[in-house]
Structure 1
Amino acid sequence: MNTWQPSLRTPDPAIRILAKRFEHYRLAHAKVERLWTGCRWAEGPVWFGDAGVLYWTDLPNDRILKWDEATEQASTWRSPSSKANGMTRDRQGRLIVCEHGTRRVTRTEYDGRVTVLADTFEGKQLNSPNDVVVTRDGSVWFTDPPFGLVSDYMGKQGTPDLPACVYRIDTQSGQIECVADDIEGPNGLAFSPDERTLYVVASRARPRTIMAFDVIDNRKLVRGRVLIDAKDGTPDGFRVDVDGNLWCGWGTGSDELDGVRVFAPDGTAIGHIALPERCANLCFGGRDNNRLFMASTTSVYALFVNTRGAV
C-alpha cells in the first residue's frame, strides 16, 4: 500500500456516482488523501475539533493513534490500549472507548483518568464491546458481539457469557439495559439526525444487512426491519450525515467493493468512494465537520464532502 498515490485528476475518479442525488455531495475539486499508513487493522476514528486532532485505534498493535491537523503528523497516543476498537465522544467532550482486551466500555476524563462505564450485565462479563454512539440525552449505546473473543490478535481469547446484544447506558444512574438481543452479530451503529431511528449492522447475517429500528422514549427499539441488503459487500462501522445519508465502511470480495458505500435514508445506494483497502470505520470531522476520515485496514484516508456529519 506504500505505493498508493492520490489521483492527479479532478473530479477524483475514486468518487463514483451511483445515483444522481449523490452529485450534490461530491466536491469537484476534492480528492481522496492518505493521511497515514502503518496499522495492522485501523478502526474507531473520532474527531476532537477543539484540539484539531483525529484519534483512531489499531487493534492488533494494541494502541490508539493521534493525527494532528495542524502539523499533519501522527503519533501513538495510548499504548497499550486494552485492544481498543470503536470510539466516540460524549456530549461533554470526553472520549468513550470500546475495549476488546478488557471486555468493557470506558470514558477518559479530562484529567486522563479512565472510568469504567460498563463491564458486566446482570452479573455476567460483557463479550467484546465493538462500536459506540452517544445520544443528545447523554446515554451511551454500544454493540457487544463476541468477535474479540475469537483470537488474541483482535482481542483476547475467551468464552462469551452473554448473547450478542445492543446495550444502553444511562450515564446519570449508571443503569445498563439490553435494548436488542436478536440482531445477528451486531456491529456498527448510528442514529438518524433526529434520533428517531437507530441503524445497526447485522454482521453475522448472510448476506450482511443494516437494520433500522424505531426509537421510543429515547430507550426502546421497535419495528426492526432490514433497510439495506449488503449482497457481496461487508458493511462495518458507519456514520450518518445531516441529511440522513449513511456513509458505510465497505469492502471484501473484490477491489471494486473496497472503500465507503453511501446510502440514502430509504436504503438506496447513491455513491461509492473507492479505496485501495477495506474500510472498517469512519467519522466526520475537520473545522466545518465536512471532512470524512476513513480508517481502512493499514491506513487512514480523508475526503472533503459537501455535507456535514450529524451531531
Structure 2
Amino acid sequence: MLCSLLAGLPFVSAVAADDPVFLSQPEMLQDHGAGEGPVWHPRLGLLTSGEGNINRRDLAGQSSVFRADAGSNGLLFDRQGRLVICDNQRRQVQRIEADGTLRVLADSYQGSRFNQPNDLTIDSKKRIYFTDPQYGDRSGMEMLDDEGQKVEGVYRIDPDGRVTRIIAHEVDRPNGLIVTPDDQFLYVADNNNELGGARKLWRFDLNADGTLDLKTQTLIYDWGTTRGPDGMKLDQQGRLYVAAGLNKPRPPAQTADRPTAGIYVFSPAGEKIDFLSIPRDETTNCAFGGKDGKTLFVTAGGTLWSVRTAVPGYQLFGGR
C-alpha cells in the first residue's frame, strides 16, 4: 500500500518509519494575534488571521497589522505570490493582486451566498478549492440542496471564475483541506464539534477535471469525542501535519480523558506516525516557513508557536 501511494507522489522520497519529524520542543512566539490561517512569504515573513485582521510577523520577529478589518480565516499565497483569502465575515474568497487591489473571486453559488469560507488549497492547474462550513448561528444560511437541506460544502474556483460544488453531504462540516502536489488526492478535515458531530480526516481521489471520485472516500483518522481536525500542511516527503485535539474537556460535546491538542503527523500511506503536543487550546492550524522551510508555525487559541522539523514543508510560492 505504501509503495503504491509513494509511486503516485513524485515529490516524495522514501520515508522510513523511524525517520524523525520534529527536532525541538514547541516555543511560544506570540501570546495574541494568531488565531488562524498562518502562511509564510520569504520576504514578508509570516501572516496570520487574528483579532479581525491579517497580522504580520516579519523576518526580524516584529509584529504589525498587515490588513485591518480583513475578516479572514484561511490564507494562502498562490504560485504568483498573490495572497488568497477566505473572508468568513463577508462570506467571500478574495485575492490581493500584484498591484495591491482586492479582487473578489467568489461570493455565491447558484445565487446563494456562501456560509463561512474557511480554508483553501490550490492545485497545479491554478484551481482553488475551499471549504464552507457554518459555525455558530445557522439562521442566516442560504446554501441549500435541491431538497431544501442545508449544505456545508467544498467548492472549486476555476481560473476562468466558474464555481463548482464538489462536496455536498459527504462530510459533516468541512474545515481544513489540502491537495497533494501531483493533484492525486484531496484531504478534507471533517470538524463538527457539536454533540454527535464528526471529527474525522478524509481522503478523496481527485480527478483530472477537478472533481472528486466520491466512491474513494477513505477515513484516515477519527478523533472520537475530542476536538476534530482543523488546518493542515504537507512536507516535502508527503507527510501530512494536522492541527487537532483539545487539552481540557468541554462536555457534553467535546470530551478528552487526556490532553490531545497539537499537531498529528500522518505518513503518505495514511498512518499516524507522530504527535506534537501544544499546551494551549485550541490548536487551529500550521504552516511551514523560515529560511530553510524547516520551521513549523502553529496557531493555537490566538497564540503562535514554532518548532523545528527534520524535513522542509511543501510551498506553492518560493519567490522573493
Q: Does 1:272 align with 2:305?
A: no
> Counterpart of 1:14?
none
> Counterpart of 1:48?
41
TM-score in terms of structure 1 length? 0.84
Conserved in 2, the CA contact under 8 Å of 1:193 and 1:243?
Answer: no
Conserved in 2, the CA contact under 8 Å of 1:36 and 1:74?
Answer: no
Q: Gaps spanning 5+ residues in structure 2: where? A: 1-15, 145-150, 250-255, 316-320
> Counterpart of 1:186?
174
Conserved in 1, the CA contact under 8 Å of 2:124 and 2:182?
Answer: no
Cα deviation 1:225-280 (Å, max 9, x = unaligned):
21211223521111111222111112224562121111222332211111111210
Residue 273 of structure 2: SS of its match in structure 1? Answer: strand
> Counterpart of 1:84?
72
CA separation of 1:226/1:23 partners in 2, compared to 1, >3 Å: closer, same or farther? same
Residue 55 of structure 1 and its aligned partner are, at CA, apart by: 0.3
Cα deviation 1:150-180 (Å, max 9, x = unaligned):
28xxxxx733334111111112x11111111
Conserved in 2, the CA contact under 8 Å of 1:33 and 1:301?
Answer: yes
The 2-side partners of 1:97 and 1:52 are apart by: 16
> Counterpart of 1:3?
none
C-alpha RMSD of matched pairs (Å): 1.9
CA separation of 1:207/1:141 partners in 2, compared to 1, >3 Å: closer, same or farther? closer
CA separation of 1:275/1:124 partners in 2, compared to 1, >3 Å: closer, same or farther? same
> Counterpart of 1:119?
107
Cα deviation 1:170-220 (Å, max 9, x = unaligned):
12x111111111221011001223220000011137441111100111401
> Counterpart of 2:313?
309
Q: Number of residues paired by the alignment?
A: 277
> Counterpart of 1:209?
200
Percent identical among aligned pairs is 31
Letter in 2 for 1:48: H
CA separation of 1:80/1:196 partners in 2, compared to 1, >3 Å: closer, same or farther? same
> Counterpart of 1:158?
140
> Counterpart of 2:123?
135
Letter in 2 for 1:256: P
Conserved in 1, the CA contact under 8 Å of 2:295 and 2:309?
Answer: yes
The 1-side partners of 2:205 and 2:231 are apart by: 20
CA separation of 1:52/1:99 partners in 2, compared to 1, >3 Å: closer, same or farther? closer
> Counterpart of 1:290?
294
Partner of residue 236 from structure 1, selected from 230, 240, 244: 230
Residue 306 of structure 1: SS of its match in structure 2? Answer: coil
Conserved in 2, the CA contact under 8 Å of 1:193 and 1:242?
Answer: no
Conserved in 1, the CA contact under 8 Å of 2:92 and 2:107?
Answer: yes
The 2-side partners of 1:150 and 1:287 are apart by: 41
Q: Gaps spanning 5+ residues in structure 1: where? A: 1-19, 152-156
TM-score in terms of structure 2 length? 0.81
Q: Which moved more, 1:101-110 or 1:256-265?
A: 256-265
